[in-house]
Amino acid sequence: MPEFEPIIGRYLSITLNGETNRLFVEESGRGQPLLCLHTAGADSRQYRHVLNDTAVTDRFRVIAFDLPYHGRSTPPDGWWLRKYRLTTRSYLAVIRAVWQALGLERPVIMGCSMGGAILLKVAAEYQEELAGIIALESTAYAPGRYNEFLHHPAIHGGELCASYTYGLNSPMSPEACRRENWWYYSQSGPGVYQGDVYFYSRDWDAREDLKRIDTNRCKVALLTGEYDYSCTPAMSEAVAAAVAGSRLAIMQGMGHFPMIENYPGFRPHLLQALDHVAG
């Protein structure tokens, strides 16, 4: 008999700013919704281990989707006429549009890197509608990462972005897993990683939004790898200090992409975080 994974993938049409977007959505399991946000320039394949973990899927309906322009999602018509730029406003809009289109009630939302960052804004704006957030490698402010070489005609963009992010993995993570994440990054569309970093490094600043998060209404769990030099442990510690009642764990031996670079090492932290935000 064929050995199929339990993941089901489908396409969802949502309207953003009057434009139709065809998004790829995959899911597995049943129970409380757990919506997963991938990192800059990547896609939801980074969550394949979570989607296959019965300790998670027996309790949660795990859903992961590719942002517009990313992975298996399709850019809106006319994408070739403009430069892709993600902003705080557009990012927040697509996340909310997805959970509303899927009819998710009090979901837990988990995101990594820029996905972990935007969750601070999501929690500030929509905490009455959420059970909680699990913010991986999350910071409220991350200037200085944007540069023109991330999309340059003289440079192979896929290999540059893949190798640029490869260094963010922990040297202790298995090489096969680090290379898998490299492979996903190498398939990013031209200029997509740079467009995401525009949000993360130039548009993003949630330092004031942190003051509005009430963990009595929306639980907050923060998980950051000790080897992460993009979102350092100190950056996540600053978030934890500003959000009363949040829980922070610095994951020993982990880097910037815990859910894909070393899932066995990440898994105990994830299960504890899930117990905290949805227990």
pLDDT in tens, 114-153: 999 999 999 999 999 999 999 999 999 998 888 888 888 8
Q: Coil, helix or strand for 81? A: helix
Q: In which element (H, E) is residue 16 found?
A: strand 8-16
Q: Which of 38, 22, 41, 44 is nearest to 190 (CA)?
A: 41
Confidence at residue 186, expressed as pLDDT on a 0 to 100 scale:
95
pTM of the model as a whole: 0.96
Find residue 221's DSSP bridge partners.
134, 247
Question: What's the confidence (pLDDT) of residue 157?
Answer: 81
Count, residues in the chain: 279
Residue spans per domain, the chain: 8-278
Q: How far apart are CA 199 and CA 17, in angstroms?
A: 18
pLDDT for 5 equals 97
Question: How high is the pLDDT of residue 150?
Answer: 82
| C-beta of residue 47 within 8 angstroms of C-beta of residue 184 | no
For the chain, give the mean pLDDT: 96
| pLDDT of the residue at 135 | 98
Concatenate the DSSP letters of all residues of 201-223 into one string: III---TTGGGG--TTTSEEEEE
Domain 8-278: give its CATH superfamily. Answer: Alpha/Beta hydrolase fold, catalytic domain (3.40.50.1820)
> Hey, what are 277's tokens?
């935000």
Q: 108 burial class (0-12, 13-18, 19+ CB within 10 angstroms)?
A: buried
Residues of the chain short of pLDDT 70, as ranges, are none
